[in-house]
Amino acid sequence: MANSSASSNAPAKKLNLSRFKNLEFVLGILLAGGIGLAVALSWLLFPDGGRAVNLMARLTPPFADPAHLLGTDPLGRDILARVIIGGRISLTVGIVSTAGAVIIGVIMGLIAGYYRGIWDMVVMRFADIQLALPFILLAITFIAIIGGGLVNTIILLIVSQWVQYARLVRGSVLALREREFVQSARAIGVKDINIILRHLLPNLLGPVIVLMTINVANNILLESSLTFLGLGVDPTIPSWGGMLAEGRTYLQTAWWISVFPGVAILLTVLGLNLLGDWLRDTLDPTGRTRI
Amino acid sequence: MAKFIFYRILQAIFVVFAVTLTVSFAIRLTGDPAIMLSQGAGSITEADLERIREALGLNRPFLVQYWDFVSGVFVGDFGRSFMGGTSVGALIARALPATLMLALVSLFLSIVISIPLGITAAVSRGKWADQAIRILSLVGLSFPNFWLAIMLVLVFSITFRLLPPSGMEGPISFIMPAATMAIILTATNVRLVRTTMLETLRSQYVMVARAKGLSETKVLYKHALRNCAIPLVTYFGLQFGGLLGGIVVIERVFNWPGLGTLAFEAVAARDYPVLQAVITVLSLLIVSINLLVDIAYGLLDPRIRTE
């Protein structure tokens, strides 16, 4: 299966898209890296954590006061500072939840694909259940039980996302285990654990890395939706979703509160998606992670 | 084939049971509705709470309550809401069409836009049109749906006062919610159409159609598109779950009287029967659409059945 799709997709690689692909890579790095850097430096740039209230300067429009380039909110807090600080939540949630999902999903997928049997059935049935339940409904119920907050949001994202890695890895393992190098390793009596770690894992990392990049982007979107709905991170901590929820009340009078945090989400996610797209062409030419 | 269908139906039934069982169990951990109901009622004793629980049937063992719910669903009875005793079936009957209509309008809009765009991208593969569509699709994928909705409200309701910012009154209120969903769906669908079309264009009957001198439009839209239909319908069908999930969020922004709004209100009030019913209906809907898609695909393409 993997072999036949590889050969049918091969002619696509002949086209010379390198100039465009490089542009995609550069743009992606600039956006994701730039925002990541700004967020990392936020502890130095804004030691007050964006909490400085200044009622004299409340609801300053953007580009009017050089001290508040993107304007201020109803408490006179600087929007630019809060947007950069808000990135801490989004990036932390995006990266940590993806890492957790990858670890669980890859292990489960390896076991399911290599040993088949009951494990395989359990993992695949989990996948079915997950496909039938929209994430946001799972989230509503889950958060109602264990409450919101940063850690719970991360747990929720891990619980709902590991399955896609398990499915991807399982599929690749099913194809790989029939290949000659795996069969011969088994024939000469290499231990299962060594076959999995030395022969299977390195051969399926490409698609996993691609999926991870896109998954960080997606989890940033999901976290901001949850926080926006009041189900995610504590609203008193500056976060993009939380700022957007606050801004809705002032949509009539102060549009900038609702615009800039959204732009920040859009640019971060776009940067990651551009990188993911570039990585896919580089690491996953057979297109297993293609939507 | 009969075996394949039988197996798929069995699997679907299992999934629906697993989902409803988990949700009914989970929601009972979220808090005591008796306490929620008695809030603001002055001094409440434990005996009063116990009486409320008894009246709502909450003092029975969980499996009894679950069985009660499941056997009710089979005869179309979803029980009564804890808040005011309205029939849950009636609440669902009011909310489901609102959500479904929005979903179908969005999906239709998105298909109408993505087919020509996807075909254009496939035909001009590697050229500037393809790259432009690719970048646009990446941008579309990067939008937080609720923020896109807020931006539409900002532009069309607040700045230009053209469209109503919320509610469902007549066709005009469909424009913004459907546009939000359609933009995000189109981002994915364009790529699906493009990929499917590229595969089809490589096949021999397309070469034959071209060789016999048919116009390019006829080749693309009559011969190639028709053969893309099966995989595309499958993709669109499988998207339905995600689409409904997105609509749940969008409903909050537009105050849309659908299942999402109903679910949020139910969680806030610990209204078990309502939330249970919303999730059951949604998962039934998604599972049966996936099932239909799978069976249809299995009938049309024998290679799938061996999976």
Domains along the sequence of chain A with CATH: 40-283 (1.10.3720.10)
Q: How far apart are the C-alpha atoms of B164 and A251, rounded to whole Å?
A: 14
For residue B25, is it within any domain? Answer: no
Q: How far apart are the C-alpha atoms of B144 and B151, rounded to whole Å?
A: 11
Instruction: Please give the average per-residue pLDDT across B62-75, as a whole number.
Output: 84
Whether B39 shows a pLDDT value over 80: the answer reads no
User: Which of A128, A134, A269 shows the shortest C-beta gap to B142?
Assistant: A269
> How do residues B259-287 score in pLDDT, each as one tens digit?
999 988 888 787 888 888 888 888 888 88
Question: What residues in chain A have per-residue pLDDT under 70?
Answer: 1-18, 285-291
A-B Cβ pairs (cutoff 8 Å, strict): 140
Residue A191, SS3? coil
Residues of chain A with Cβ-Cβ distance to B18 below 8 Å are 125, 129
For residue B210, is it within any domain? Answer: yes
For residue B95, is it within any domain? Answer: no
Asked if B138 and A277 come within 8 Å (Cβ–Cβ), the reply is yes
Do the beta carbons of residue A81 and residue A135 sit within 8 Å?
no
| Whole-structure pTM value | 0.87
Asked if A133 and B144 come within 8 Å (Cβ–Cβ), the reply is no
Q: How far apart are the C-alpha atoms of B67 and B72, rounded to whole Å?
A: 8
Asked if A17 and B144 come within 8 Å (Cβ–Cβ), the reply is no
Instruction: Please give the average per-residue pLDDT across B142-170, as a whole number.
Output: 92
Residues of chain B with Cβ-Cβ distance to A279 below 8 Å are none
* Pair of tokens at residue A248: 């809705």
For residue B161, is it within any domain? Answer: yes
pLDDT for position B112:
94
Taking the alpha carbons of A146, A151, A153, A155 in that order, is the dihedral positive or negative?
Answer: negative
For residue B12, is it within any domain? Answer: no
User: CA nearest A133: which of B15, B273, B180, B210?
Assistant: B15
For residue B126, is it within any domain? Answer: yes
- The residue behind tokens 């929007």 is A79
> How do residues A14-57 score in pLDDT, each as one tens digit?
445 567 778 889 999 999 999 999 999 999 888 887 777 888 87
Whether B100 shows a pLDDT value over 80: the answer reads yes
Do the beta carbons of residue B224 and residue B199 sit within 8 Å?
no
Q: How far apart are the C-alpha atoms of A147 and B221, rounded to whole Å?
A: 51
User: Which of A145, A229, A262 shows the shortest C-beta gap to B252?
Assistant: A229
CATH assignment at residue B109: 1.10.3720.10
Do the beta carbons of residue B149 and residue B180 sit within 8 Å?
yes
User: CA nearest B278: which of B261, B256, B298?
Assistant: B261
Taking the alpha carbons of B290, B292, B293, B297 in that order, is the dihedral positive or negative?
Answer: positive
Of the residues A16, A17, A137, A244, the best mutation for testing chain B's interface (the one with the most B CB atoms within 10 Å of its CB) is: A137
User: Which of A128, A266, A274 shows the shortest C-beta gap to B15?
Assistant: A128
Instruction: Please give the average per-residue pLDDT across B130-145, as a whole number.
Output: 92
For residue B180, is it within any domain? Answer: yes
Residues of chain A with Cβ-Cβ distance to B239 below 8 Å are none
Asked if B144 and A229 come within 8 Å (Cβ–Cβ), the reply is no
Total number of domains constituting chain B: 1
Q: What is the ipTM of this complex?
A: 0.86
Residues of chain A with Cβ-Cβ distance to B265 below 8 Å are none
pLDDT for position A286:
66
pLDDT above 70 covers a percentage of chain B that reads: 96
pLDDT for position A11:
45
Asked if A128 and B146 come within 8 Å (Cβ–Cβ), the reply is no
For residue B245, is it within any domain? Answer: yes
Q: From the CA of B150, how many Å to the nearest CA of chain A?
A: 8
> How do residues B71-88 score in pLDDT, each as one tens digit?
888 887 888 888 778 899
Q: How far apart are the C-alpha atoms of A105 and A130, rounded to whole Å?
A: 13
Per-residue pLDDT band for B49 (boundaries 50, 70, 90) equals confident
Residues of chain B with Cβ-Cβ distance to A140 below 8 Å are 263-264, 267, 275
Q: How far apart are the C-alpha atoms of B33 and B58, rounded to whole Å?
A: 9
Residues of chain B with Cβ-Cβ distance to A123 below 8 Å are none
Structural domain including B109 reads 101-269
B234 or A213, which is more confident: A213
